[in-house]
Structure 1
Amino acid sequence: MQDPVVGNTRRSRIAEFARHLDSEVRAALHFDDEAIIGADLLVSLCRALMDTDSPQPWQDRLEAIFDEFDVADVETGIDYTLSQIRDKDQAISWLKSFKGLNYQAFALRLLGAADFKRLVDTVKEDGAVVALAIRRGLRASMPFAVAWSDAVSNMTENQRKAVSNTDILGLEVVQGIIMMDEAFGKKFVSTLPMQLTAATADDLAGWRPDDMTEIVTNIRHRVVESSAKRLERENSQLVRKIRGAKDALTPSEDGISQAANSLIELIDRIMREAFTKEEVLAWVEVNLPGDPLLTHEKDGNTLPTKRAEALCFVYRGSPTARDANEHDDGQGPSLIHDVLARVIVATRTSLQKFKHDDDGTQEEKDQLFSLLAGLEGALLLGLSISQIGTTQDRPLDAIEA
């Protein structure tokens, strides 16, 4: 039998090995065609995404992989992978069976010692590639988890209670990701031949809950940078407002009040330049009519509340309608939009007290830095999710600085 490691280095080793087996042997080992195609596509995509040394953009790398497969195989591979994700019990059952002594003894008798060793090696090598992709994917979610945690910390207790699903607000998302990373590293990364992948020293270094403060601090710097870059694309003057607020926190008699004023002006300007009050009212009328918390009367005129402006901003003026499911009836703002809008309003309300109640204490500075971190987190998440949604008639990147 041909050595299965010889061939296209971007493809799945286990798929290549299985294709060299007789059809009866494959069937006896439960390697059906759909599983082989699914493994080949999954591992090939993971290899392409993890190849950070490639000069090609990741989109081009993925396109090159898809070009290597027939259209029918791509559909089969995607369908099979999705079915395994939906039916985790089936995938877990297969893994347990493969690792079981009975299966291994049967495979050893069927294949012989040399080919059985190749089988085990190919499974481990493919497993290492997928494990690297999972670890990087898990860690890539950390900036958003930190941003979410910082944003939610700006909400008052009453605002937390007002959210329709308070369970998610109580989750220690950041700590949960770190614990998942630690467990995944011990169970998989440390047991697989990661030297055969594109793993770096940082990929292999485990995260531990004891190091959470250091990890969060480093990630928070990335959140700040990402938020600033996104705001820079929207309006460079808004970035200067944030920088001005931070500069105002240097030792001075009125630094805290200056910083608070800068941040309030930042929030107001974001809302004002995103949509006019007339546009916000029109959006409310179409999407959330009858909500008493979104409008108020002043001098005989109907005006949008700060919450309405914040909701319109985080939605980028797009519809709130969505498909209902067992956890969401599809009515009203979605959980994440609702929370981010509340965070923006809560941050502004909290900043108001610093305008006139400023003692210049270190505690006040710490509180203001915390509010700033939450605001940056909310802006990062708000601008990120809005780019995933539908395009708008008047996108924010069309607003002049």
Structure 2
Amino acid sequence: MQDPVVGDESRSSIAEFVRRLDPDIRAALHFDDAAVVGADLLVSLCRALMDTDNTQPWQERLEAIFDKFDLTEVETGVDYVVSQVRNGEQAVSWLNSFKGRNYQLFALRLLGAADFKRLVDAVKADSAVVALAVRRGLRAMLPFAVAWSDAISNMTENQRKAVSKSDIFSLELTRVIVMMDEAFGEKFISTLPMQLTAATVDDLADWRPDDLTEIVTNIRHRVVESSAKRLQRENSQLVRKIRGAKDALTHSEDGISQAANSLIELIDRIMREAFSKEQVLAWVEANLPDEPLLTHEKDGNILPTKRAEVLCFVYRGGPTAREANEYDDGQGPSLIHDVLARVIVATRTSLQNFKHNDDGTQEEKEQLFSLLTGLEGALLLGLSISQIGITPDRPRAEVEA
């Protein structure tokens, strides 16, 4: 590994301290080479990704960090970090051991008071950096959880039952995340020197389940904004369709019918501009030939169903093949792709009903606003997961071709 600069704030404080110790002392303290490299790599990556003043894309930040390490050391560090993530009990056991009285007395005798304090401070400083990354990562999940909840709210009970592993719908994902965030804050954030990190006031502000309604309302605004931005990148006219639907609901006497028409046209246009019917049929044949209800016959021609079009869209025309596990047999569309497809199709069906059965009641407006919220959530998720596999050197057109 390239020698780190002494006092380099982009690196791990633990690694910097431990590398200065005699090898025998390092071994006695249970700091092996892989652990030191893993800590250095993990903390360096967390610092780089949490730096809000850095305007570089995250890919370039990661490349800059990896450039500071030799390739073999990167492989060692990545393997170590992955093993700790997979075996969380091992990492927790080490932390409990480190905090234990016996270990601390042993380390104090071995290092002396001054170096022992440096070690403790280094562990706290690195832990604060990782804790900030965990909190931001946890909170970054909430917009997708809100989008997921809003999206599946557009499905009927029968449609939910049609999805395998339907017990996932019973989870209150937003509440679970907020409760995890609260517990993490009390157990870790509050005990660490967060002032040494790039933590903002918002990062340190507590989230509590009692504030869930306000939190979800604020997050939902972010979902709407994120969905609009992604649609804007696809086609600015699509964003105008959503705005037009909202304006129609708010201001027009015939708003419900107009809004339903706008949203149906929005869904159809997104699908149509992503893939032609011929491309969808070819995709179905290549990926889901045995999946029912993906094609139908009209005037002697085989055509894709709306569900097939949406599935092709959320997969971005990519393969559906995946490894089987205890939750997924690897056959057919994955759970999240299947749910999103069903949500968008179910939303379109409900909009058709509003289009033809418009009484102009306040209840209908509220139901249509709910459908719109769910649609925005589904589009955010669909457009987000469809970006997987698209890299800067692989243009979108190649993926869709």
Category of TM-score, reference length = shorter chain = over 0.9
1:124-149 Cα distance to aligned partner (Å, 9 max, x none): 11100110011111111111111111
User: Which residue of 2 is the match for residue 311 of structure 1?
Assistant: 311
* Counterpart for residue 134 of structure 1: 134
Aligned equivalent of 1:244 = 244
Letter in 2 for 1:355: K
When residues 343 and 395 of structure 1 are mapped into structure 2, their CA distance, relative to the original with a 3 A threshold, is: farther
Q: What residue in structure 1 maps to residue 384 of structure 2?
A: 384
Aligned-pair distance for 1:28? 0.9
User: Are the counterparts in 2 of residues 318 and 390 from structure 1 also a CA contact under 8 Å?
Assistant: no
Using the alignment, how far apart are the partners of 1:59 and 1:287 within structure 2?
31
- 1:140-151 aligned at under 5 Å gives the runs 140-151=140-151
Shift of 1:379: 0.9
Distance 1:394 1:355 in 2: 34
Structure 1: which amino acid aligns with 2:307? R
Q: Deviations over 1:249-277 (max 9, x none)?
A: 11432111111111111112222222222
Equivalence for 2:104: 104
Distance 2:21 2:289 in 1: 64
What residue in structure 1 maps to residue 47 of structure 2? 47
One-letter amino acid of the counterpart of residue 51, structure 1: D
Report the counterpart of residue 165 of structure 1 in structure 2. 165
2:386 aligns to what SS in structure 1? Answer: helix
Percent identical pairs in the alignment equals: 81
1:61 Cα offset (Å)? 2.8
User: Paired residue for 1:189?
Assistant: 189
Deviations 1:307-352 (A, max 9, x none): 1111111112222112222322221101111001000010011112
Relative to structure 1, is the Cα distance of residues 147 and 235 closer, same or farther in structure 2, using a 3 angstrom cutoff?
same
What are structure 2's unaligned runs of at least 5 residues? Answer: none
The answer to whether residue 373 in structure 2 is matched with residue 373 in structure 1 is yes
Q: Do structure 1's residue 280 and structure 2's residue 242 form an aligned pair?
A: no
Classify the secondary structure of the residue corresponding to 2:77. helix
- Contact residue 307 and residue 342 of structure 1 kept, 8 A: yes
Task: Report what 1:83 is aligned to.
Answer: 83
2:25 maps to a residue whose letter is V
Within a 5 Å distance, the mapping from 1:15-26 to structure 2 comes to: 15-26=15-26
Amino acid at match of 1:312: C
Match of residue 268 from structure 2 = 268
Structure 2 CA distance for partners of 1:394 and 1:280, relative to 1, 3 Å: farther
- CA positional deviation for 1:372: 0.6
Whole-angstrom CA distance in 1 between matches of 2:182 and 2:266: 39
Matched, 1:117 2:129: no
Normalised by the size of structure 2, how large is the TM-score? 0.94
Q: Tell me the distance in 1 between the aligned counterparts of 2:317 and 2:301.
A: 22
Q: Deviations over 1:68-117 (max 9, x none)?
A: 21222111111111111112221111111111111111111211222111
Deviation at 1:6, TM superposition (A): 5.5
Distance (Å, rounded) in 1 between the aligned partners of 2:397 and 2:186: 45
User: What does the per-residue CA deviation read over 1:29-59, in whole Å, with 9 as the maximum and x for residues that have no partner?
Assistant: 1111111111011111111111112344433
8 A contact 2:12–2:39 mirrored in 1: yes
Tell me the distance in 1 between the aligned counterparts of 2:85 and 2:390.
27
Does the CA contact (< 8 Å) of 2:275 and 2:400 recur in 1?
no
Structure 1 SS opposite 2:250: coil
Aligned residue identity for 2:102? N
Give the match for residue 349 of structure 1.
Answer: 349
| Secondary structure of residue in 2 paired with 1:31 | coil
Task: Give 1:299 shift.
Answer: 2.9
Alpha-carbon distance in 2 for matches of 1:180, 1:363: 35
Q: Aligned equivalents of 1:361 and 1:396: distance in 2?
A: 47
- For the residues of structure 1 that align with 2:23 and 2:399, how far apart are their CA atoms? 57
Determine the C-alpha separation between the residues in 1 that align with 2:59 and 2:298: 52
Whether the 8 Å CA contact 1:154–1:343 is kept in 2: the answer is: yes
- Tell me which amino acid in the other structure corresponds to 2:103: Y
Could you tell me which amino acid in structure 2 is paired with residue 255 of structure 1?
Answer: G
Matched position secondary structure for 2:387 = helix
User: For residue 134 of structure 1, what is the amino acid of its counterpart?
Assistant: V
Letter in 2 for 1:304: P
Report the counterpart of residue 155 of structure 1 in structure 2: 155
Instruction: Return the alpha-carbon distance in structure 1 between the equivalents of residues 61 and 279 of structure 2.
Output: 42
Alignment of 1:191-270 (within 5 A): 191-270=191-270
Q: Which moved more, 1:314-323 or 1:176-185?
A: 314-323
**Which sits farther off after the overlay, 34-43 or 352-361?**
352-361
Asked if 1 retains the 8 angstrom alpha-carbon contact of 2:163 and 2:339, the reply is yes
Code of the residue aligned with 1:58 in structure 2: it is W
Give SS of 1:250's match: helix
CA deviation after TM superposition for structure 1 residue 297, in Å:
2.4
Moved more, 107-116 or 120-129: 107-116
CA displacement, residues 231-253 of structure 1 (integer Å, 9 cap, x when unaligned): 11112211111111011011432
Counterpart position of 2:177: 177
Q: Check conservation: 1:13, 1:122, Cα contact below 8 A.
A: yes
| Whole-Å separation in 1 of the counterparts to 2:396 and 2:54 | 37
> Which letter does structure 2 place at the counterpart of 1:84?
Q
CA RMSD of aligned residues (A): 2.1
More displaced stretch, 388-397 vs 32-41: 388-397
Q: Which amino acid aligns with 1:306?
A: K
